[in-house]
Structure 1
Amino acid sequence: MRAFLPVVLLATGCSIAAADHERLGDRAYREGRFLDAVAEYRAAVKSGAKPRTWAKLGAAALHERDLGTAVEAFAALEAADATRASEAAAGLERVAIQAERGGPAELVHLAGAVRALRTVAPGRPLGRFALAPTTGLPASEALGALPAALASAEEGRTVDSLLVAYGTAQRVTTACEAATRTLKTVLRRSRDVGLRKTASVGMGTCALRLGLDAMDTEQTEAAERWFEQAVAAAGATPAGWRASIGLGDARLKQGDILGAAIAYQVVISAAGVPDSLTKMAAEKLNLLGGGGSPAPPEVLGR
């Protein structure tokens, strides 16, 4: 009995300390001293306070714009009392909204809030926040996170934004063939000018790379298809013009001299083409006129 008494006294002391800190936190909160309230509520939860104190800590942290503490508190609220999951999710949504308003400086907290929200309320629609957990991640990590974000996204534009991010991550990690399929889907689905432009640039870059790779391995028919896709996607850009030169090379390899000449001439006649590409196309066209063979396809920027 004597051995048990100190344990009882210790537990009682912790409960009293937690209650005292919670009361002090409540007073500070009422008086608008949110920094003090955060400190008191944190001391209370360390002393074994009830789950409600996590909710109070999250609310005080939001007022103080301490978004990291707010995310921690609302996530801990659900972990301590699963019946308060909806309350925790609502708190995390408030954190996400506040972080979004904070701009680039708060992206880490926006991503943290949305990741916690997925855990606290897995079926809750995320709307425009669906992309947040992948913000700033290396492409290889984003590839792992984006499928889950896509699965929970409901709004059309959110899905399209996620698809663009997924295709971009695939492109960066050199999964170019998969990236072109993803980005084609965006071009079929979306009418958003910004998303379509990003998807077109990514697809053009990937198709150009795949065309050049196919030429390196003497797969001229495949190369022609990739270059045609690159020209269609990239348009009047360096990637599009380089693809047009590649298209000429692929056609020439298949004996289509007229088709090759047309592809080279497109680059020579276009406005704003970099001098290096104009020179490359002109040299290849001149070789056609002289009956020679064009030089191997140089890879711009390689």
Structure 2
Amino acid sequence: MDITTTTSATQFTIDYAVVEEIAKTLYIRSLKQLPPDIKEGIARLEADERNQTARRVLGTMRQNIVVAEQNDNLLCQDTGLPIYNVTLGHGVTFDGMRLKAALRSGCARATHEHPLRSSVVHPLTRHNEQSSCGAEVPVIHIDFDDTPGTFSIEMIPKGSGSENNSFLRMAIPAEGVDAIRRFVIDCVVDAGGKTCPPTIVGVGVGGTSDLCVALAKRAATRPLGTRCRDEHGAALEEQMSAAVNQLGVGPQGLGGDATAFAVHVELAATHITMNPVAVNMQCHSARRARATVTAQGVEYGY
């Protein structure tokens, strides 16, 4: 399949029909195939779990993953709010409106052609277009990096069980890092079993209120095993990952050690008079799928 209009090995123009097909494929793949780091995370938590009930719950989660993949079925009935994260490297020429339209069309095609349950409704009338699309949905983020001749599309279906447990606090600098720690702990306790733990607890610190919440979402959907690029953020991740698993919430809120796979932190500079902190959580079925596109073709992964 010819995927690009090529001018050199590191420069090409995006083919929007291909983007549409990728958007469709990623939505379906993300709902059926759990990333390897999450599978390994569940196995690790089960091996370390001391609570017998919690071990049974984690075992059931692992079996659900196996059955879904063997039967080419969905990991969870909640097809989530669709999020596409697009990253464009050097030399990639694109039309932003055509790119957004292609992603939206691919999302709708996945819903109609698979078919998938559409969980997206108008916030006031609750009307469902039955396309997993609506005003400002799918959510589309576009960013850039210095990789030559490459662009990637990541698809994250964010279920409401985890998304409902989203929190923001506009802390003040005088409260220090202790205020961040207390807020994260309070949020995990408040969420309890509603987030379908074990979770990935995403923490955003700094920026403006809207950026802080976006950072928390980015942190919650990062692969397990990755670390905050800021050394202070990485240290906070390590401290809080240990702390939340001493709370006893456990898998599905039924008690145990495995409350979270990890706490992930993302940081941004902020104003001298404030220190925003946000929490966003990802459920145990931390679904995501990725496609990397070059002039040579498309490679799917996580």
Larger radius of gyration: 1
Fold shared, TM-score > 0.5 on shorter chain: no
Which category describes the TM-score, using the shorter chain as reference length? under 0.3
TM-score (structure 2 length as normaliser): 0.20
TM-score (structure 1 length as normaliser): 0.20
Greater strand fraction, Structure 1 or Structure 2: 2
Greater helix fraction, Structure 1 or Structure 2: 1
